[in-house]
Structure formats: structure tokens, C-alpha cells
Amino acid sequence: MANILQPTEENLRDLRKFLLFGGLVGVPTETVYGLAANAFDAQACAKIFEAKQRPANDPLICHISGVEALEQICYANPLAIRLAERFWPGPLTFVLPKKDKIPGIVTAGLDSVGVRCSAHPEFQRLVAQCDFPLAAPSANPFAYISPTTAQHVEAGLGSKIQFILDGGPCAFGVESTILDLRDESQPRILRYGALPAEEIEAELGRSIEKPAATSADESVQHLAPGSLPKHYSPRTPLDLRGGIATSELETLPPKTAALLLAKPQQDRGKNVHWLSEDGKLSEIAANLFAKLRELDEAGYSRIIAEEAPELGLGLAINDRLRRASFR
Ligand code: TXA
Ligand code: MG
């Protein structure tokens, strides 16, 4: 069992020291919980891969305190600085050419690094105290549902780590948007996430390249090695549907299958669940992973989930659901 710590000054000081000397800590961010290590310490980062059972070809994201820390780990271009000033702290990760100080294990041998500045207040306080970046992938066993509470981290990795910093439930509930900025003239989204692509396009005043709405866009898999078709997956088989009509609720075998709707419908059976009261995408995203865990533990034979609309945050929600349904 890990110790779940509250973000007091004393605990943050102790966690900084623990990280400096090579420890792993479960940390809150505004998207999902991360599993953090000192990004300058190759041995500490190796422990992340071991704890998560993550393949060595799947690179880690590094967390820094702000725009001014970019030069610690990468070569930022004017576009990266402009977008960081506009969207950081927040759920946006850049892929940029890495500096030698970042060990190859962090970037899975790539010559680029994923970098982000989280808006979670308690995590920000920890990052600000550390004079080293924190490599932190999501704190789930490889390919399972991402954690959005300290208790989720404990359930998945508690036997492998000593400390989890409790920052409450994550506000966004889906991971950061990943934007490849290695070529300034061709920014490209590698992963739909909590910052809608439309907001980045509005800032740039033009449309940018984006992944196809499928769990197996090979051009993206090639650029972002961690975007595997099967991911975020409950053990219970999950089927994804374009929309579920009220009339269908009656034909489902009671108790054996769970229905996961975007919002409540009139006929509510015991096996009918919903992700939001009114279909608001931010609420659906915030509840998505916790609900999938709950249904996974409830012993259903199958989860039948309804897609979100294909816009804004809906793209990130559907991306997670598609990968969760991949068999
Ligand atoms: O919201 C988030 O981004 C969370 C929180 C904890 O910060 N982190 C997260 O990390 O989602 P992770 O490891 O679950 O996903 C990181 C993914 C990798 O699987 C990979 O696809 C992509 O980011 N990535 C990281 N570094 C990259 C690089 N240098 N080039 C291309 N893709 C990269
Ligand atoms: Mg992950």
C-alpha cells in the first residue's frame, strides 16, 4: 500500500527530496494522475516503465514549471513559445527537439521530447520546488483505464510505489492534447485531449493536421509511439455505439450488460448508467474513466457505450472510448 499524502508544505518538501534521490510518486494533474520521477535520472525513469509494465518504446511526457523552463529540456521555437504563453499552464503537451540532458530512456530513444506545464495548483507547487523536470506518464498499469483520483492510483499501482500526492479528482478527466511542433510550419495534433483542437486552430487562425477518428491511424502511431489501438481498456468487453435509443433499453438482457449513456434517458433500468446530467462534454470527460472503472468492477458481461458528438472535447472522449473498445 502507498501512503496517500495531503499537499502540505512539509509533505511537498519531503516529496521533492524523495524525487531528487530517485523515487517514484503518484501526482495529481488537471487531466489524469501521473507517475512522476526525476526526468534527469535515467534509473528513476526506468522504474516508471517497470511499475507500469510499459514497453520501452513508449516515450514519457516531461512536466516543467513554465515557459521559462522550456530551455532546460528542449529547443523551443517561436511558435511553441507563443502557444505556451497562450495555453500554459494547461492540458497541452508539445513535442519538440530534445536536449542531451534528457536521458534516452525518457524519450524512448527519440530525438524529441514531450513537454507540458500542468495547471493543477498542488502539482504546480511541487514542480516549482523541483529544480529538475518530472517525467510522468499516466499512473495506470499499461493499457488499463487512466486514474482520475488518488484512490485509482492506489488500486492500480499501490503495491509498487511508496507515495501518492492527493490533489482531489481531476478536473478534465482526459489526458492532455499532444501537439507536434518540431516543424513550425506544420504543427500537427498527435493525440486529441483536454484542450480542444478548435481552440488551437482559432489561436493560429488556420486548420492543422489531426488524427483520423479511428483507434488505428497508422500515420499517428508512427509519430507518437504510445498511441496504440487498444488502450484505456476495462477488462469487461466494451462495445461502442453511435447513439442509443430509449427503445433499445428494453431489449437489453437485464443485469448482464451495462449501458453507458452520455446523459439520462427516460427509462432508467438498474443497468443503465450515464456520464452527465445534461450531455455537457466537460462533465462527460470528467466522469468517463471513473465510470468505466466502476462498471468494470460491477461484474457486467459487457459494457455498451454511447459515442459523444464528434467535436471539441467529444473527439478526445471518443478517442478513449474507441481504444477502450478495441479487441
Ligand atoms: O495529460 C497527460 O498528458 C498525462 C498527465 C499525467 O500529464 N500524461 C500522459 O502520459 O498522458 P502518457 O505517458 O500516458 O502518454 C504520453 C504519450 C505517449 O504514449 C506518446 O504517444 C506521446 O505521449 N509522446 C510522448 N513523448 C513523445 C515524443 N517525443 N514524440 C511523440 N510522442 C510522444
Ligand atoms: Mg497513458
Q: Decide if 89 is inside a domain.
A: yes
Would residue 267 count as lying in a domain? yes
244 and 188 assigned to the same domain: no
Of 209, 19, 210, 203, the residue nearest 129 (C-alpha) = 19
226 lines ligand 1 (CB under 6 A): yes
Residues 95 and 189 in one domain: yes
Residues 213 and 277 grouped into a single domain: no
Same-domain check for residues 8 and 96: yes
Q: For residues 92 and 33, state if they share a domain.
A: yes
Going by alpha carbons, the residue nearest to atom 27 of ligand 1 is: 114
Instruction: Out of 223, 258, 290, pick the residue that ends a domain.
Output: 223
* Reported confidence tier of residue 252, pLDDT bands at 50, 70, 90: low
Q: How far apart are CA 326 and CA 156, in angstroms?
A: 21
> Would 233 be classed as within a structural domain?
no
DSSP annotation string for 155-197: HHHTTT-SEEE---S-SS-SPPEEEE-SSTTS-EEEE--SS-H
Do 42 and 150 have their domain in common?
yes
pLDDT digits (tens, 9 = 90+) for 96-131: 999 999 999 999 999 999 999 999 999 999 999 999
Could you say which of 200, 223, 246 is where a domain stops?
223
Domain holding 88, by residue range, is: 3-223
pLDDT at 204 over 90: yes
Where does the pLDDT of residue 253 fall: very low under 50, low under 70, confident under 90, or very high at 90 and above? low
Consult the annotation and say whether 232 binds a ligand.
yes
Task: Identify the domain boundary among 223, 253, 274.
Answer: 223
Q: What cell was used for 292?
A: 468505466
If you average pLDDT over residues 8-19, what whole number do you get?
98
Residue 231 lies in a domain: no
Rounded to an integer, the average pLDDT of 140-164 is 98
Task: For 255-307, give the DSSP string.
Answer: TTEEEEESS--SS--TTEEES-SS--HHHHHHHHHHHHHHHHHTT-SEEEEEP
In a domain, 228, yes or no: no
> Could you tell me if residue 200 is inside a domain?
yes
Report the residue among 111, 175, 176, 221 best suited for mutation to probe ligand 1: largest number of ligand atoms under 8 A from its CB.
175
266 has a pLDDT exceeding 80:
no
Q: Are residues 94 and 135 in the same domain?
A: yes
Q: Which atom of ligand 1 is nearest to the CA of 54?
A: 13
pLDDT single digits (tens) 37-77: 999 999 999 999 999 999 999 999 999 999 999 999 999 99
260 Cα–ligand 1 center, Å: 27
Domains identified in the chain, total number = 2
Residue 229 within a domain: no
Residue 230 lies in a domain: no
Residues 173 and 219 in one domain: yes
Which ligand is in closest contact with the Cα of 182?
1
C-alpha closest to that of 189 among 116, 108, 95? 95
Confidence at residue 267, expressed as pLDDT on a 0 to 100 scale: 66
Pair (305, 214) in one structural domain: no
pLDDT at 45: 98
**pLDDT computed for residue 229 by the predictor:** 87
Residue with CA closest to ligand 1 atom 12? 137
Which DSSP string do the residues of 203-236 spell out, in sequence order? HHTS--B---SSTT-HHHHHHSTT--SS-S--SS
If asked whether residues 199 and 275 sit together in one domain, one would say: no
Tell me, yes or no, whether 8 and 128 share the same domain: yes
CA-to-CA distance for 177 and 184, rounded, in angstroms?
17
Look at ligand 1, atom 29, and give the residue with the nearest C-alpha. Answer: 113
Identify the H or E element spanning 84: helix 78-87
Please tell me the distance between residue 260's alpha carbon and the centre of ligand 2 in angstroms. Answer: 22
